[in-house]
């Protein structure tokens, strides 16, 4: 079953002096199935936020359409199946306690009586916010409040969650905790998650598929490894030695030495599609011998891939 459908989704804004309209989003098409966790990526100004606002009915498309679990975006039926989290905009009333907020939002979504009690209990345990229920929203740290924001978005058991920068401003520990509980919720309820984030560690921790847009148009739709393309098999190896006089190993094809400017740190780049990792490590170990103190292997990050892709981006 398809949870999200965007069909020829287009949003334009008029320009002065009868110039051609500005396309914030242009003929965007994609489907997201039930239970998928998908990243929605692109540089600033690519059209991500405009698309999200059309999917949830905040903006009306100039042309095209979108659906949430078979219901037209922006309708009451679609909104009952949709949860929203904006990292830069709170849906909580700061002067009210967390429980008062959850109670109010439950009533708005027609979650009442025993169902409301069970839902609040389940989510407060899952997201570990029980000790905050009597606290006013304004007294919580950003990380604590974001967990409460997500609970508020899930109180009516939506089939789809749109999360826009949910970890923005959080420290490393808070980010990791939030990712863990989001993943647990998604697996338990088999819900669909569409995530936008400039923190690509969020994407790599949660998503298997990504949709990449630029200038309002889709540039890629597929797996994260597919987005990395030829770089998917590339690994970078860093070696630390006890002796500074050990030279780089440059007598082996397909293993590229990288200058570091540090006589104790040696780096290489290799492609596992052409040479086995075990063979490479064996050769490096023999080359450095007893001087070898540490060896680390790194994948090419998604941030590097997108950075290279948009480095020469034309600003229109």
pLDDT tops 60 at residue 125 = yes
Residue 6 has pLDDT above 70, yes or no: yes
Whether the Cβ atoms of residue 140 and residue 170 lie closer than 8 Å to each other: no
Query: For residue 195, which of 82, 59, 41, 89 has the smallest C-alpha distance?
Result: 41
- Evaluate whether 275 touches 197 at the Cβ level (below 8 Å): no
Identify the burial level of 24 via C-beta atoms within 10 angstroms of its C-beta, where 0-12 means exposed, 13-18 middle and 19 or more buried.
buried
The whole-angstrom separation of Cα 66 and Cα 70 is 9
Residue 265 has pLDDT above 70, yes or no: yes
Of 170-184, 203-217, 241-255, 261-275, minimum mean pLDDT range: 241-255
- Looking at residue 146, the DSSP 8-state letter turns out to be H
Q: What is the pTM of this model?
A: 0.82
Q: What whole-number distance in Å separates Cα of residue 281 and Cα of residue 235?
A: 12
Cα–Cα distance measured from residue 35 to residue 18, given in angstroms and rounded to the nearest whole number: 45
Most confident range (mean pLDDT) of 148-152, 239-243, 308-312 is: 148-152
Stretch (H or E) spanning 71: strand 71-72
Q: What is the pLDDT of residue 254?
A: 63
Predicted local distance difference test score (pLDDT) of residue 315: 47
**Spatial contact of 152 and 179, defined as CB atoms under 8 Å apart:** no
Are 29 and 93 a contacting pair, CB within 8 Å?
A: no
Q: Is the pLDDT score of 122 beyond 60? A: yes
Nearest CA to 185 out of 128, 146, 127, 130 is that of 127
DSSP 3-state percent helix, strand, coil across the chain (nearest 5): 35, 30, 35
Q: How confident is the model at residue 291 (pLDDT cuts 50, 70, 90)?
A: confident
- H or E segment at 64? strand 63-68
100/106 Cα distance (integer angstroms): 10
101 with 148: CB under 8 angstroms? yes
Select the more confidently predicted residue: 276 or 221: 221
């Amino acid at each position: 079953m398809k949870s999200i459908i965007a069909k020829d989704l287009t949003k334009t804004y008029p320009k002065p002096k009868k110039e051609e309209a500005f396309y914030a989003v242009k003929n965007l098409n994609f489907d997201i199935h039930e239970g998928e966790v998908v990243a929605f990526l692109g540089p600033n100004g690519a059209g991500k936020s405009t698309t999200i606002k059309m999917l949830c009915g905040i903006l009306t498309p100039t042309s095209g359409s979108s659906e949430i679990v078979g219901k037209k975006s922006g309708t009451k039926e679609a909104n009952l199946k949709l949860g929203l989290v904006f990292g830069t905009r709170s849906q909580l009333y700061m002067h009210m306690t967390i429980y008062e907020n959850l109670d109010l939002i439950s009533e708005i979504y027609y979650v009442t009586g025993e169902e409301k009690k069970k839902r609040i209990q389940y989510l407060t345990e899952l997201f570990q916010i029980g000790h905050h229920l009597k606290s006013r929203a304004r007294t919580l740290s950003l990380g604590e409040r974001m967990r409460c924001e997500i609970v508020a978005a899930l109180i009516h058991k939506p089939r789809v969650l749109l999360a826009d920068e949910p970890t923005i401003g959080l420290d490393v520990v808070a980010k990791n905790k939030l990712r863990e509980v989001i993943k647990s919720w998604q697996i338990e309820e088999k819900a669909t998650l569409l995530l936008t984030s400039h923190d690509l560690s969020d994407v790599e921790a949660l998503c298997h598929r990504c949709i990449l847009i630029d200038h309002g148009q889709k540039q890629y739709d597929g797996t994260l490894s597919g987005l990395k393309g030829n770089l998917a098999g590339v690994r970078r190896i860093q070696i630390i030695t006890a002796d500074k006089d050990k030279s780089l190993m440059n007598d082996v094809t397909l293993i590229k030495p990288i200058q570091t400017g540090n006589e104790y740190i040696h780096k290489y780049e290799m492609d596992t599609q052409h040479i086995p990792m075990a063979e490479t490590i064996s050769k490096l170990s023999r080359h450095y011998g007893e001087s070898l103190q540490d060896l680390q292997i790194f994948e090419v990050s998604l941030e590097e891939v997108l950075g290279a892709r948009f480095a020469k981006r034309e600003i229109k």
